[in-house]
Amino acid sequence: MGLFGRSRTSVGLDIGTGFVKLAEIGHGGDRPELRRVEMRPMPPGAIVNGEVLEPGPVVDAMKGLIERAGVGTREVVTALGGHDTFMKKLQLPRLQGAEAASAIRREAARHLPFDIAGVQLDSHILDPERDDPHMEVMLVAARRERVEERVTLLAEAGIGAVHLDVAAFALCNAFTHSYPGMSQDLVALVDCGHDATTINVLHKGVPVLSRGHHFGLRGLAESVTGESGISSDRAVEVIRGDGHSHGLDASLDEAAEHLATAVERAAAFLRTQHPGTGVGRVYLCGGGACIPGMVESVGRKVKAETRAANPFENVVVRTGMRGHALLSEAAPLFLLALGLALRTS
């Protein structure tokens, strides 16, 4: 099964800690057509920090989502991310065929944080048409154990995986499709989820840095609860914009500071690799981008133009599409699902 990976219709399935989300794309016209989106809450504690702790409830959530969405296929594109994957851009002598594959594997063994014998390895030459003596290669690896666990989990839900992608690449895929004018810029794509946040830095449409941070919406809800004394369920409602609590402003400011610091650290690391470069724009996706005031607060702290990423910016939306209300209510939550659905090769 390749980590990079055509049918007339494709379904992206994002298995997250807080929600499982689905996007279906039709590829029969000149532009991709969004045919449906759907989401379903994930049972609390079933997935923690990307690790499936309770397979049964996760399988039930995926089955329920597929049935409610009414998709005509049981084959999806899904992804792994976090500590179970690794990516790095390498520069190697320009080789062809078997020689190139052998050289990439040797280089991978030097850089991987885990034993190469236990990984699913893939690579992509970024500049195949150039004739200079060196080539740029994007190396991607996933722990084989986690790949097999994910495939088994899907099978128990009656779902087959057409492709298993890497989350950072799927997010990049959706972003560059939605914002083609940004493909030459250096941008930070901040995916703020339930348990964690991932900072992805994109350069010329390619992710060059992906870093995870142990901060997510769960932490924000706990902070609001501690500041105001309200219940955890009520805290979740508050951060989603349903009312206000006297502890929200301080907690939101602290959360924005966490995200801004993470972006600044990623930018600082990038400058050590490429002096003179800097992140020009920041885009937020995931649940964090849906919190009222979060985008503006992060923007003030990073002192850079900051927006919520809209994955439906550049797709045709089918008239009467199922799940249409989610396009305005929770669009940033679907960036990964759309990026997966756009993966047709």
User: How do the domains of the chain map onto residue ranges?
Assistant: 1-84+142-179+310-345, 85-141, 181-308
User: What is the structure's pLDDT at 335?
Assistant: 95
State the first-to-last Cα distance of the chain, in angstroms, to the nearest integer.
13
Give CA–CA dist 10/147, Å, rounded.
20
Q: Helix, strand or coil for residue 33? A: strand
Q: Helix, strand or coil for residue 275? A: coil
Over residues 301-324, the mean pLDDT reads: 88
Fold matches, 1-84+142-179+310-345 and 85-141: no
Least-confidence region, from 4-8, 18-22, 23-27, 304-308: 4-8
User: What is the structure's pLDDT at 5?
Assistant: 44
Amino acid at 326: L
DSSP line for 68-94: HHT-S-SEEEEEE-GGGEEEEEEEEE-
214 or 42: which carries more pLDDT confidence?
Answer: 42
Among residues 23, 37, 22, 41, the alpha carbon closest in space to that of 240 is found at 41
User: What is the structure's pLDDT at 1?
Assistant: 47
Give CA–CA dist 17/219, Å, rounded.
13
310 or 243: which carries more pLDDT confidence?
Answer: 310
The listed CATH number (3.30.1340.30, 3.30.420.40, 3.40.30.10, 3.30.1360.120) that belongs to domain 181-308: 3.30.420.40
How confident is the prediction for the chain on average, in pLDDT? 87
Give CA–CA dist 193/178, Å, rounded.
20
How many residues are present in the chain?
Answer: 345
Q: Which strands make up the sheet holding 75-80, listed edge to edge? A: 160-166, 75-80, 9-15, 19-26, 33-41, 316-322
User: What is the structure's pLDDT at 4?
Assistant: 47
User: What is the structure's pLDDT at 3?
Assistant: 53
Among residues 184, 187, 167, the alpha carbon closest in space to that of 309 is found at 187
Q: Helix, strand or coil for residue 333? A: helix
With a CB cutoff of 8 Å and minimum separation 6, the contacts of 102 are none
Whether 2 shows a pLDDT value over 60: the answer reads: no
Least-confidence region, from 96-100, 154-158, 278-282: 278-282
User: What is the structure's pLDDT at 306?
Assistant: 94
CATH level 3 topology of 1-84+142-179+310-345: Nucleotidyltransferase; domain 5 (3.30.420)
Residue 10 burial (C-beta neighbours within 10 Å; 0-12, 13-18, 19+): buried
Q: pLDDT tens for residues 210-257?
A: 888 888 888 888 888 888 888 877 877 777 777 666 778 888 899 999
CATH level 3 topology of 85-141: Dna Ligase; domain 1 (3.30.1490)
Whether 77 shows a pLDDT value over 90: the answer reads: yes
Q: pLDDT tens for residues 313-336?
A: 889 998 888 788 888 889 999 999
User: What is the structure's pLDDT at 183?
Assistant: 61
% of the chain at pLDDT higher than 90 = 34
β pairing state of 33-41 and 316-322: parallel
User: What is the structure's pLDDT at 49?
Assistant: 78
* Residue 278: CB atoms within 10 Å: 11
Among residues 327, 264, 251, 263, the alpha carbon closest in space to that of 292 is found at 251
User: What is the structure's pLDDT at 243?
Assistant: 66
* Phi, psi torsion values for 191, nearest 5 degrees: -100, 100
User: What is the structure's pLDDT at 278?
Assistant: 73
With a CB cutoff of 8 Å and minimum separation 6, the contacts of 67 are none
247 or 187: which carries more pLDDT confidence?
Answer: 187
Using alpha carbons only, how large is the chain's radius of gyration in Å? 20
